[in-house]
């Protein structure tokens, strides 16, 4: 069974985020940077599947996740990572691990909303509405006019729902199960990350 699932991104994502949800739902959550960054790296191919509209998101997300993967070799948990940046007074500086974590969190949130919209629009073969809504809700408030315009134009080059499922090597029923699993598991993780930023008075809208 493991071999047949090896090339199915949704299944690997579902499993990895279920494990993270167990951690953040525990009484004293300590999220390892290595486990978190590995789970996030599994999401990267999804952005590539969405074509040119999300090319900017793919490049930015992959770069930020790669930074967290590198950081995991010397930093144990997300809390320790943020505390180090706070101590070094570099939280908001480009390239800081904490700044990159905030960007990665937005990527996870966008995929969550996208999956919610895809599930809700069952029977519609177009991804334009789900993709437009997820972008507008999560990314658009943080982007300038030029990027928003480029994304809007790119929406016309999105794959169809059937093509996306083909790229992900899943049928409709299985994809819905794994997408819902990610939605359920990522929600407490995203809340945990938001609360982490807010508890350290860092804010989440920058």
Over the stretch 93-148, which tens digit does the pLDDT of each residue have?
Answer: 999 999 999 999 999 999 999 999 999 998 889 999 999 999 999 988 888 888 88
Question: In the chain, what are the domain boundaries?
Answer: 30-200
Tokens 């059937």 correspond to what residue?
162
Give this prediction's pTM. 0.93
CA distance 7 to 11: 9
pLDDT > 50? residue 61: yes
Give the range among 93-97, 124-128, 149-153, 198-202 with minimum mean pLDDT.
Answer: 149-153
Q: Give me the sign of the Cα torsion angle 111, 13, 71, 188.
A: positive
The set of residues, in sequence order, having a beta carbon less than 8 Å from that of 27 and lying 6+ positions away, is: none
What pLDDT sits at residue 1? 41
Q: Where does 30-200 sit in CATH, by number?
A: 1.10.3520.10
Mean pLDDT of the chain: 93
pLDDT of residue 180 exceeding 80, the answer is yes
User: Is the per-residue pLDDT at 2 higher than 60?
Assistant: no
Q: CA–CA separation, 203 vs 45, rounded Å?
A: 29
């Amino acid at each position: 069974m493991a071999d047949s699932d090896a090339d199915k991104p949704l299944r690997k994502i579902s499993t990895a985020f279920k494990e993270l949800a167990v951690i953040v739902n525990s009484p004293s959550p300590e999220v390892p940077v290595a486990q978190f960054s590995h789970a996030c790296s599994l999401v990267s191919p999804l952005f590539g599947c969405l074509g040119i509209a999300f090319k900017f998101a793919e490049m930015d997300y992959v770069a930020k996740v790669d930074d967290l993967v590198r950081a995991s070799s010397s930093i144990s948990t997300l809390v320790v990572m943020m505390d180090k940046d706070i101590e070094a007074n570099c939280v908001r500086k480009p390239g800081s691990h904490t700044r990159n974590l905030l960007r990665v969190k937005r990527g996870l949130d966008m995929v969550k909303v996208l999956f919610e919209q895809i599930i809700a629009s069952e029977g519609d073969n177009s991804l334009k509405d789900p993709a437009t809504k997820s972008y507008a809700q999560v990314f658009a408030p943080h982007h300038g006019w030029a990027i928003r315009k480029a994304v809007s134009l790119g929406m016309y080059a999105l794959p169809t729902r059937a093509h996306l499922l083909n790229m992900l090597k899943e049928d409709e029923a299985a994809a819905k199960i794994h997408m819902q699993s990610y939605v359920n598991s990522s929600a407490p993780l995203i809340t945990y990350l938001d609360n982490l930023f807010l508890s350290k008075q860092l804010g989440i809208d920058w």
